[in-house]
Amino acid sequence: MLRLNLIHSGGSHVLPDTIATFLREKEGKDVFVMNAPVTSIGLEEPDNENSPMVVVAGGETKKYSHVICTLPLPVLRTIDLTDSELDILQSNALRKLQYGPSIKVGILFTEPWWTTGKDKKGEEFNIVGGQSYTDLPIRTVVYPSYGVNSETPSNTLIASYCWTNDAERLGSLIGTGKKNYEEQLEHLVLSNLAAIHNTTYKYLKERLVDIHSWDWNHNPSTMGECYASARS
């Protein structure tokens, strides 16, 4: 039985990393192929429904009794599925399912001010978990709840979570590699946070440690990720 002792430090990748370590120890070898893009998935004998599956990854061919694919469908369509024997309904589903663009902006602060701080009126924020919604560009703010009663509460806030048109607008400032756009995004997000929580830009800027933004719509490993809908 696999038991996981996850700690706050390390983020969500702690879970898959721990599972990978467990499987490697159990099998006595490395059972994972990393950094090998899959280019083809199909039946070895397309006319035989009991045929093993053949996967080409990183230029190497491997056979399996079955394959579970969890790629976002826009990415899956870039893989050669010619010998997968998909019927017309399955092929149409891959083509018609549409993903809405999504972005997130995470900010690390020196302290969880949304829980322990006070606004301009001297009233405590006292926010633990949950979300705030606004018509300002950042749209949705997500507050952490884990570790709140411990000696190491989370100082990280999802300062903006947007999708569809809102994501496309803020997404234009993400991943440009240009400092002026990064500074523009930082100023916009902090200003919106200050307005929502009735505090000042200076108050948040003084507590800022680092900011990290992500735009799924312009990431080659996802080609867009948020919600999906099928359209005929």
pLDDT digits 0-9 by tens, 123-164? 999 999 999 999 999 999 999 987 777 788 889 999 999 998
**Could you tell me the residue range of the domain that residue 67 belongs to?**
14-85
How far is C-alpha 219 from the geometric centre of its chain's CA atoms?
Answer: 10
Confidence band of 10 (pLDDT split at 50, 70, 90)? low
Domain boundary among 53, 85, 117: 85
Q: What secondary structure, in 3-state letters, does 41-97 show?
A: EEECCCCCCCCCEEEEECCEEEEECCCCCCCCHHHHCCCECHHHCCCHHHHHHHHHE
Q: Are residues 119 and 32 in the same domain?
A: no
Domain count, the chain: 2
Is there a single domain that holds both residue 78 and residue 110? Answer: no
Tell me if 223 is assigned to some domain: no
Q: Is residue 90 part of a domain?
A: no
**Together in a domain, 107 and 210:** yes
Q: Is the pLDDT of residue 122 over 60?
A: yes
Q: Is the residue at 4 inside a domain?
A: no
